[in-house]
Amino acid sequence: MRPCQGDLRYNKVVYALRCTKKLLARVGPPSTVVEPTTTTLGDWFAQPLALGQRRFILLAAEHSRLPVLMPARNAKHLAQTFPQELVTVLDRLQIPMEAIEREIGEMRECVIAATNNRSVLGTLNDFSFLLRTMMERGAGDDPFDKALSLCDTPVGPLGYDTPARVTARLLAEALKHATRSVAQRAITTAGAPAVAEPASGRKQVTQAAEQRGKQAARRTANTWITDMRHFLDEAGRIPDDLPGPAFGVAAFIGSIVTWVTSSRGVADLRTNVACRWSPARRPCTGIIEAGLAGDGETILWHCPVCGDKGQVRGWEGTPWDRRRK
């Protein structure tokens, strides 16, 4: 078993990254024990993809066939980097952030496993063919934009519905069910008639908010100072032998840098980066807010939910810098 991200003390496996034999040679040996997945989109199937001279990994969700294209570099860290790539795709599809946070929160751990569904592999092969064709016809096009357009491609196993529509529907239904379950548990815990619930509920919510506020206040005293150059080799690249924990931090902070230095960061301080902090062994549900400080060299970020915050320097000219050259 290998963790995807978050607190390593979680023991429950909630989904699997099912890789083809060729990709397993790079990612690592598959687990012999795979528990049933509990995520809404199901297991994710992955295979390598070559587009010209560039190498990628193409993934598709078991239940919605949602495609996600990732760079093939550092394939052995696929389990750590994939959830953040999924956040980017779901955000581009305008999935509500509450639904995104819930799905990513369920992806705390995973196992690397072998493929076991020919139908999903067939969808991956279809997507691979379409991507190669589109890139051949549009030389110089962004492959990630082309991969995103596949989300609107009718898929036979989905009844010729599209991955984008099926994904939105599945995540919305899961969020609605989870919200209803939380409300029912709150009423049961209160032990009072339905008419008395609002007052009791408000009291409980207030007490919980005060407790979270105290925890956040203690956490706010810590500020993470990060120099992105420390994650790079002498050539300015991410080394293949970068340890897993360091790679996870680099992926997290790097995603913040990418947002702030892109065109999206100019208009919106709320990024698409999920908080990594896990207070009380529960993953924080916050989304990082970030922006460039007045000196033009320091990126400041913080989580509005748990209070985690930091400063980023040395990001200029790194692979995460998305400013126009």
Say if residue 60's pLDDT is above 90.
yes
pLDDT at 184: 55
The structure tokens listed for 72 are 């093939």
pLDDT digits (tens, 9 = 90+) for 307-317: 888 899 999 99
pLDDT at 122: 94
Average of per-residue pLDDT across 218-226: 58
Using pLDDT thresholds of 50, 70 and 90, give the confidence band for residue 268: confident
Average of per-residue pLDDT across 5-25: 70
Which residues touch 78 (CB under 8 Å, ≥6 apart)?
17, 19, 27, 46, 57, 70, 112
What are 210's strand-pairing partners? none
Q: Which residue has the higher pLDDT, 221 or 224?
A: 224
Average pLDDT for the chain: 80
Say if residue 189's pLDDT is above 80.
no
pLDDT digits (tens, 9 = 90+) for 68-105: 999 998 788 898 889 889 998 999 999 988 889 888 88
Using pLDDT thresholds of 50, 70 and 90, give the confidence band for residue 12: low
**Rounded to whole angstroms, how far apart are CA atoms 306 and 283?**
10
Average of per-residue pLDDT across 203-230: 52
> What are all long-range contacts of 86-92, with beta carbons under 8 Å and residues at least 24 apart?
87/272, 87/273, 87/274, 88/272, 89/148, 89/151, 90/167, 90/171, 91/272, 92/148
Q: All domains of the chain, ordered by start, with CATH?
A: 2-172 (3.30.420), 223-313 (no CATH)
**Rounded to whole angstroms, how far apart are CA atoms 14 and 143?**
30
Distances, alpha carbon 258 to alpha carbons 57, 253, 262, 265, 299, in Å: 20, 9, 6, 8, 11
